[in-house]
Amino acid sequence: MSESYSSLQSTIDFPDDPLRQVQSVTKPAESGVYPYYHPVLSGMITSIDGLTVMGATLLTAYAGPEVVHQHWVMSQSVANLMSVLGFLMAPKKRSLIYVPTLLQASAQLRYLAPPLLIGALLHAVVLSMLRHPIAPSAELAAVWLFCSALALGAVRGTEIALLGSSAISGQLARNVAIVGSDETAIKFAARIAGEAGPTYRMIGVFDDHDTALNPNAVDGTLEDLIVRSRETPLHAIILAIPSHYDPHDHVAEISWRLRSVLSDVYVLPNVVHGIDVVLPIEQLGPFALLVLQRRPLSDWQAVKKTMLDMVLGAIALVILAPVLAIVAIAIKATSPGPVFFKQPRLGFNNRTFMVYKFRSMYTNMSDMMAARQTSRDDPRVTPVGRWLRKLSIDELPQLLNVLRGEMSLVGPRPHAPHTRAGGMLLDDALAEYVIRHQVKPGITGWAQVNGARGELVTIDDLRRRVTYDLEYIQKWSLRFDIKIMALTVLREVFSRHAF
């Protein structure tokens, strides 16, 4: 961009401006920084706090003063338990573990001091209630407080040093893109770039109509933003579109064009008069934004799904190792060529990856780009390959893709880039198809266990499969994934649709 955001920031002082209207409904942000809540990081920090206090509490059983006689052991155990519970259950100010407040030692002292004092008080009170002398009870409580505070200080100091490193702090920054082409969008981008500090990184302003008033002030079109999203993870796209366009139709059009982009999508309140009362509100520094679209899985849900994939995938690979070895020998002994077949597939966030399968076709007839789909009684399939496909064993090497983080155990099945339905490429045949790429593709899926698998002949075949895939994305839970895996064993291993 020829005109930098920082130079524009000095010009932002505009009465009766939409941005000022947005800012007026919220409290101002801390000077020079827009903090935000990172649920996964905060959950990890609070879990480490709890484990640290538990470890320190165990040490107090051996580091207590000489007043602890044998008849105090049970009482001290009860007091220690109540202290830990008090620390864990004491109310804490969540904003003190927002990014980047989490890196401030003074803020962490304010966050940890109240629950520590509550835990120490409970320790002394419990011993007193059990009819132990006040002075030694207070001494034991002080020992618990000292050990816990010392351990937490060491752990938090280490965390602050690690999170403050450039490698990690860069990963914690939220990437933001602005959609719009008038002065409001340019100024809004300048405000975020100039004020947000290290927590938000401005990716650019992208023209909502491809007819920007000042082409030199934007970074591209919506199509450029979509392409950019494949390379750079986006956390927020904010629609700051010109108010003189029809807001309802324009917002709907942009949202539809961004349907394949993996990002939360927000809009300035002044853009959507009349429907804003039904939209949730989220804070970005001093601004309240209306939420138009969220990523299908939250940060915590994505972590849970990844943990399930890694644990069950590793277990399955170990258990099935003898089967995999036997299949590999059978393939190698019955037809020349490699054991595995690797093929490019479209995966998470529309990125291409190489999927692993047991080779089920003759090597000289393999179709790398899937220009022709496999059909029933396909002459390209080997006799061993026919059984591998029938029992879905040819898909088992995709456990390697799961452990590489490219696939999930459960999700929409990935297709090769040249796969067609009704003579058309899949994303051309059905507009909703690209939404499937907002989650990782799976070895099995909701569509497969409901019989929507095999060759895609017509657009109706594709529509049925995509309907199941979108239903899966909408209803996702760990329980749902486990249910689909169980149904896969019961229904699909002996499916009549596999060939």
Give the Å distances, CA to CA, from 18 to 202, 240, 394, 491: 20, 9, 57, 56
Distance of CA 397 to the CA centre of its chain: 25
Going by their DSSP bridges, the two strands 408-410 and 442-444 should be labelled as parallel
Determine the Cα–Cα distance for residues 451 and 179; give it in Å rounded to an integer: 41
Identify whether residues 214 and 312 lie together within a single domain.
no
Are 488 and 345 contained in the same domain? yes
The answer to whether residues 309 and 211 belong to one domain is no
Are 147 and 56 spatial neighbours (Cβ–Cβ below 8 Å)?
A: yes
Cα 8 to chain centroid distance, Å, stands at 33
Same domain, 178 and 277: yes
Residues 90, 18 share a domain? no
Q: Which residues contact 180 (CB under 8 A, 6 or more apart)?
A: 186, 188, 205, 207, 208, 239, 240, 241, 242
Residue 198 counted as domain residue: yes
Provide the H-helix boundaries in 258-350.
299-319, 321-334
Rounded Cα–Cα distance for residues 386 and 498 (Å): 9
Q: How many CA atoms lie within 13 A of 293 on its CB side?
A: 23
- Residue 339 located in a structural domain: yes
Task: Give the type of residue at 478.
Answer: L
Last residue of a domain, one of 166, 198, 231: 166
Same-domain pairing of 215 and 278: yes
Joined together, the tokens standing for residue 298 give 């939250």
In a domain, 406, yes or no: yes
Give the pTM.
0.82
Largest CA-CA distance found in the chain, in angstroms, rounded:
89
Domain hosting 280: range is 5-32+173-295
Q: What is the CATH number of the domain that holds 271?
A: 3.40.50.720
> In terms of Cα–Cα distance, which of 39, 169, 168, 171 is closest to 97?
39
Domain assignment of residue 498, yes or no:
no
Q: Do 127 and 23 belong together in one domain?
A: no
Closest CA to 233 of 173, 309, 296, 178: 173
- The span from the CA of 437 to the CA of 297, in Å, is 12
Identity (one letter) of the amino acid at 281?
A: I
Q: Which residue has the tokens 């933001």?
A: 176
CA separation for the pair 448, 356 (Å, rounded): 19
* Both structure tokens of 152: 């937490």
Residues 86 and 122 in one domain: yes
Rounded-to-integer distance, Cα 29 and Cα 210, Å: 33
352-355 own/partner pairs: CB under 8 Å, 24+ apart:
352/417, 353/401, 353/406, 353/407, 353/414, 355/398, 355/401, 355/406, 355/407, 355/414
Q: In DSSP terms, which residues pair with 266 in a beta bridge?
A: 238, 291
Tell me: do 338 and 285 sit in the same domain: no
Q: Is position 254 within any domain?
A: yes
- Going from the C-alpha of 498 to that of each of 20, 175, 439, 454, the distances in angstroms are 60, 43, 24, 6
Half-sphere exposure of 229 (CA within 13 A, CB side): 28
**Cβ–Cβ < 8 Å for 472, 438:** no
Q: Residue 187: which of 225, 211, 218 has the closest Cα? A: 218
Same domain? 189 vs 132? no
The domain tally of the chain equals 3
Given 137, 166, 195, the domain boundary residue is: 166
Q: Does residue 497 form part of some domain?
A: no
Domain-located, residue 345: yes
Helix, strand, coil abundance in the chain, percent, nearest 5:
55, 15, 30
**Domain stop point among 280, 295, 310:** 295
- Answer for the pair 263, 234: CB distance below 8 angstroms, yes or no: yes
Task: Count the Cβ atoms, other than its own, within 10 Å of residue 327.
Answer: 21
Strand partners, 291: 266
Token output for 252: 């709907």
What pLDDT does residue 367 have? Answer: 67
Round the CA-based radius of gyration of the chain to a whole number and report it: 29
CB atoms under 10 Å from CB of 280, counted, come to 9
Tokens 């206090």 correspond to: 53
- Looking at the fold, whether 207 and 269 belong to one and the same domain comes out as yes
Neighbours of 74 (CB within 10 A): 10
- Say if 499 falls within a structural domain: no
Total Cβ atoms within 10 A of residue 366? 14
Do residues 328 and 475 share a domain?
yes
Omega of the bond leading into 344 within 30 degrees of 0 (cis): no
pLDDT along the chain (499 residues), means of 10: 40 42 42 82 95 91 55 78 94 92 93 96 90 84 93 95 89 93 87 90 87 71 91 93 71 89 90 65 89 92 95 96 94 90 91 92 73 68 86 91 96 88 86 92 93 84 94 95 92 57
pLDDT at 167: 86
